Structure 1
């Protein structure tokens, strides 16, 4: 199609992509989900960036929290996977590494040896009151137990940041803020640090964007299944040299956090509060810095979108990614963590379509 602009909804296209060099990052529910996708499809990736996210299957820390597994996982996600009362109550990294090994052994996820040699950026703000640093520390330990070398992990816990992705945009929230839209000004672009750590030396970000921001219909990737809790549209930034066919690309998948999807609305008593819809819009897509460093380094940035719902069988009012089982049709055996999971499958199919 070339690099010409288009305001239309498009079909996601295939490009010349370096297979096995894709990567993924996310914030909050997007970080928990990035871990799920990364571990499930580790053969497709070369690294991951995790901002305020816990380890794989950490929602299963305390099965006794409810009669139904789905209820137990929801309660565990909140009480253990996000805000454990004391550090000792944080997710057990060794147990979760064993769960991952067992899941790989039965073919539910890729063989875990693919994680060796991959590079990880893991961040927790010391002022984060939404996902405690004790949880994020277990994410680092989880990956180390599965063979990721400590030297390949950049772990940052030295910044008094709240629950947010960090930017150098002065109009964003103060650094220590713990409220929507969860994009805080800390004087640097965290997205740039993530990509530099994963890929090594990169060219400086460009000031202008000559590529294309594509809006595509993502319903084909989850067959329109309403339990997917995914929006109609997804987005992808295609660098100018890639869409013109002048350079091969790598793909980086970016997963927003709760309340950050393009069509997020607040629910009040089960009804969408359209009149008071927060103006978050596409800020995670357009202002977090990914596109500018992607343009100068031939990296396609894929932005899948989750959406909320409140009422019926599926409860996801904040538009979070599923890292505790709300999309699973079987409440006794939620399957949200394997290659068969609705959201994981949809995201990976998008990556495959791009060529990665």
Structure 2
């Protein structure tokens, strides 16, 4: 462990505009985006959700199994990802009530700033991992929490598979549903998200002159093995921010399952390191966030989650927790709250940066 920490630095602070942070994610990163957005809504002005369901949707049917943990996992699959029929998709009204409850109990921020937030919500027409019916409920969920409909950009017209979309010719064909879940659709989705949240932005720069920093993530989850988070996280800091010439905003970009820098496939509970996929840094380097961040003084934070299998921590695909695997008590999961180990860690990183 000693050698590893020498390869990564401590995350630093910068001159950051507070209350103007934003967050986006794909797949499990999109489900986590919704959770983080609600848990700390007073720090954000908007969110980008690519193929993600509404807040606490894995808890839609608590009677699905005898054990609560199994019920939430089944709920995540059968309701939060692939409902057999549209009527089985998560109930936006019920989940909005759960959000109000959580806010009333101080588990998440008060919901009073949400109506002015700007949301980009996307589902691909060929997505067979998280069905469009589910993502449509995410839009409905936010409307139930009084977000101004004019602030929501909802796009369900692109024939995309389960992916973040780029204009990179070497990425997968647009309609594919396969790793690394980065598909070429002739536009940079990251740019569309940031433009929707922040309005007019400068054109992205072709050459990056800032720094992509690898930092030690472990201090933020304090050795908690239930965090399922990697040793390192990444952050892109634009050159003008590094030099102290510009005040920054912070954008948090959350990768999806199988997209962390050290994703390893588990076979029968054992890590299959011999066949480790070689695309672990692509979400950080090729999705376009850094290029538009450089020209607009936006720090991009890339927290990293990793897989684990066996024991009582079931997260073989390296997904962010949106069904409760990190909760110490599965019967009363806290994965969506300010107390959740992953949300606490990401929030501490945001605070450290100055946001």
Same fold (TM over 0.5): yes
Partner of 2:246: 247
Query: CA–CA distance in 2 between the matches of 1:339 and 1:115?
Result: 17
**Structure 2 matches for 1:38-53, cutoff 5 A?**
38-53=37-52
**Counterpart for residue 56 of structure 1:** 55
Contact 1:126/1:133 (<8 A) preserved: yes
Report the equivalent of 1:4: none
Whole-Å Cα distance in 1 between the matches of residues 281 and 7 of structure 2? Answer: 16
1:30 is aligned to 2:29: yes
Matched, 1:269 2:234: no
SS at 1:279 equivalent? coil
Secondary structure in 1 matching 2:347: helix
Aligned to 1:98: 97
Distance across 2 between alignment mates of 1:146 and 1:71: 29
Deviation of the 1:224 alpha carbon: 1.4
Where 2:119 maps in the other structure, the secondary structure is: strand
- Structure 2 CA distance, aligned partners of 1:20 and 1:320? 27
**CA shift for structure 1 position 114:** 1.6
Q: What is the aligned partner in structure 2 of residue 313 from structure 1?
A: 312
RMSD: 0.7
CA distance in 2, matches of 1:201, 1:178: 32
The equivalent of 1:336 in structure 2 is 335
Tell me, yes or no, if the aligned pair for 1:69 and 1:334 is still in contact at 8 Å. Answer: no
Measure how far apart 1:8 and its partner are: 3.8
Matches within 5 A, 1:150-189: 150-189=149-188
How far apart are the structure 2 equivalents of 1:336 and 1:161?
29
TM-score (norm 1): 0.98
Superposition deviation, residue 256 in structure 1: 0.1
Task: Kindly report which structure 2 residues correspond to 1:224-235, keeping only aligned pairs within 5 A, or say none.
Answer: 224-235=223-234
Measured against aligned partners, the alpha-carbon deviations of 1:270-318 in whole angstroms (never above 9, x if no partner) come to 1101111011120000000000000000000000000000100101000
1:82 equivalent in alignment to 2:81: yes
**Is the deviation greater in 295-304 or in 275-284?**
275-284
Give the TM-score normalised by the residue count of structure 2.
0.98
| 8 Å CA contact retained: 1:41, 1:109 | yes
Cα-to-partner distance string for 1:43-76 (whole Å, 9 max, x where unaligned): 0100000000000000011001112221111000
Number of the residue aligned with 2:205 = 206
Contact 1:32/1:323, CA 8 A, preserved across alignment: yes
Decide whether the 8 Å contact of 1:29 with 1:320 is kept in 2: yes
Aligned to 1:3: none
> 2:89 and 2:348 mapped to 1: Cα distance?
33
SS at match of 2:348: helix
User: Residue 283 of structure 1 corresponds to which residue in structure 2?
Assistant: 282
Query: Is the CA contact 1:90–1:138 (under 8 Å) kept in the aligned structure 2?
Result: yes
- Separation in 1, partners of 2:51, 2:238: 28
Alpha-carbon contact 1:38-1:48 (below 8 Å) kept? yes
Residue in 1 that maps onto 2:299: 300
Whether the aligned pair in 2 keeps the contact of 1:113 and 1:147 (CA below 8 Å) is no
Within a 5 Å distance, the mapping from 1:317-328 to structure 2 comes to 317-328=316-327
> 1:267: Cα distance to partner?
0.5
- Counterpart Cα distance in 1 of 2:216 and 2:314: 23
Equivalent position SS for 1:112:
coil
Q: Deviations over 1:164-187 (max 9, x none)?
A: 000000000000000100000000
Residue ranges of structure 2 left out of the alignment (5+ in a row): 1-5
Give the conservation status (yes or no) of the 8 Å contact 1:121–1:154.
Answer: yes
Q: Establish whether residue 66 from structure 1 lines up as the match of residue 75 from structure 2.
A: no
Structure 1: distance between partners of 2:148 and 2:273: 47
Moved segments of 4+, more than 4 Å: none
